[in-house]
């Protein structure tokens, strides 16, 4: 009986782990590599989060690790970028080209998702998340089009290039929130400098820019990253009613999140 109970416990734990594992799907983007998508589990039209990975990274890794943070409330699109050269054959690692190329890839991904999922994508600004190299590119994209990318989470990157003037222009153009996340003290010091440029306040007197440090994490988004930034992330999406929880819907395993455009 003890062996049976142990076996059932192991099976139960495995089933729970599988249930918690996000279902990663592919999204066809004309002219670019396929992106990785995580569908929302909440019903109705949902907002979109676009995630840009780091150098020598993989889009599925970023989507898989941050799915717990998004918690089924929004679409997640993790773009691939371009193959990272100079690595052993079969390494399957990715990086990004120039910001203009990344912008075209992100815009193509958003168009493809809207075409492939009519009625399921909420209108309005996109939440942009970037790690390391991806954070720098996310900051560039947001400064160029703040009305579209109104809220930003920059982790371990994207701190350079901000000035009082540029942050003010980001807000004037429609930018709403900036969350700078760090895994160590050096990053945190420069992140606080970025937020010191933010003189504007949002409703309730809260600053538009915030810093969160996950001590001991280092240059990574694994480990304790999700638990360390969860409260700050809730502040980042606060006030956007599209993120409010809705009744979970049943998503057919056979439904592919793919689309092509001409």
Element (H, E) at 210: strand 209-213
Q: How many residues does the chain have?
A: 262
Residue 170 within any structural domain of the chain: yes
Residue 187 within any structural domain of the chain: yes
Residue 48 within any structural domain of the chain: yes
Q: What is the mean pLDDT of residues 172-198?
A: 95
205 pLDDT more than 80: no
Residues 30-52: tens digit of each pLDDT: 999 999 999 999 999 999 999 99
The pLDDT-based confidence of 261 (bands split at 50, 70, 90) is very low
Residue 74 within any structural domain of the chain: yes
Q: 82 lies in which domain range?
A: 24-243
**98 vs 247, higher pLDDT:** 98
- The pTM is what? 0.86
Query: Rounded to the nearest 10 degrees, how much is the dihedral formed by the CA atoms of 241, 245, 248, 252?
Result: 50
246 pLDDT more than 70: no
Residue 199 within any structural domain of the chain: yes
Closest CA to 81 of 94, 99, 62, 98: 94
Residue 255 within any structural domain of the chain: no
Which range is least confidently modeled, 170-179, 231-240, 248-257? 248-257
Gyration radius of the chain's alpha carbons: 19
Count of domains observed in the chain: 1
Who's near 196: CB < 8 A, 6+ residues apart? none
pLDDT of residue 248: 52
162 pLDDT more than 60: yes
Helix (H, G, I), strand (E, B) or coil at 129: strand
Percent of the chain with pLDDT over 90: 77
Residues 7-20: tens digit of each pLDDT: 333 333 333 333 45
247 pLDDT more than 90: no
The pLDDT-based confidence of 21 (bands split at 50, 70, 90) is confident
CATH of the domain at 234: 3.40.50.1820
pLDDT of residue 199: 76
The pLDDT-based confidence of 245 (bands split at 50, 70, 90) is low
- C-beta of residue 209 within 8 angstroms of C-beta of residue 178: yes
The pLDDT-based confidence of 204 (bands split at 50, 70, 90) is low
Helices within the chain (DSSP H only): 2-20, 59-70, 99-116, 133-144, 164-172, 185-196, 225-237
Helix (H, G, I), strand (E, B) or coil at 114: helix
Residue 163 within any structural domain of the chain: yes
User: What's the CA gap between 261 and 107, in Å, rounded?
Assistant: 12
Residue 8 within any structural domain of the chain: no
């Amino acid at each position: 009986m003890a062996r049976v109970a142990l076996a059932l416990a192991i099976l139960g734990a495995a089933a729970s782990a599988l249930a918690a594992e996000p279902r990663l799907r592919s999204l066809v983007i004309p002219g670019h590599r396929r992106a990785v998508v995580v569908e929302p589990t909440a019903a109705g039209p949902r907002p979109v989060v676009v995630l840009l990975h780091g150098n020598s990274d993989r889009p599925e890794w970023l989507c898989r690790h941050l799915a717990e943070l998004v918690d089924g409330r929004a679409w997640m699109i993790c773009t691939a970028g371009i193959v990272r050269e100079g690595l052993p054959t079969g390494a399957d690692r990715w990086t990004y080209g120039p910001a203009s190329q990344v912008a075209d890839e992100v815009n193509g991904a958003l168009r493809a998702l809207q075409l492939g999922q009519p009625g399921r994508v909420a209108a309005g600004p996109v939440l942009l998340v970037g790690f390391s190299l991806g954070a720098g590119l996310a900051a560039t994209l947001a400064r160029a089009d703040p009305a579209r990318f109104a809220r930003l989470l920059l982790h371990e990157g994207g701190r350079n290039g901000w000035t009082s003037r540029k942050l003010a222009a980001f807000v004037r153009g429609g930018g709403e929130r900036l969350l700078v996340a760090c895994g160590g003290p050096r990053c945190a010091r420069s992140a606080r400098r970025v937020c010191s440029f933010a003189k504007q306040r949002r409703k309730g007197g809260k600053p538009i820019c915030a810093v969160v440090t996950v001590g001991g994490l280092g240059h990574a988004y694994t480990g304790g990253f999700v638990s360390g930034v969860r409260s700050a992330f809730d502040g980042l999406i606060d006030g956007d009613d599209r993120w409010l929880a809705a009744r979970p819907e049943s998503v057919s395993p056979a439904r592919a999140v793919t689309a092509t455009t001409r």
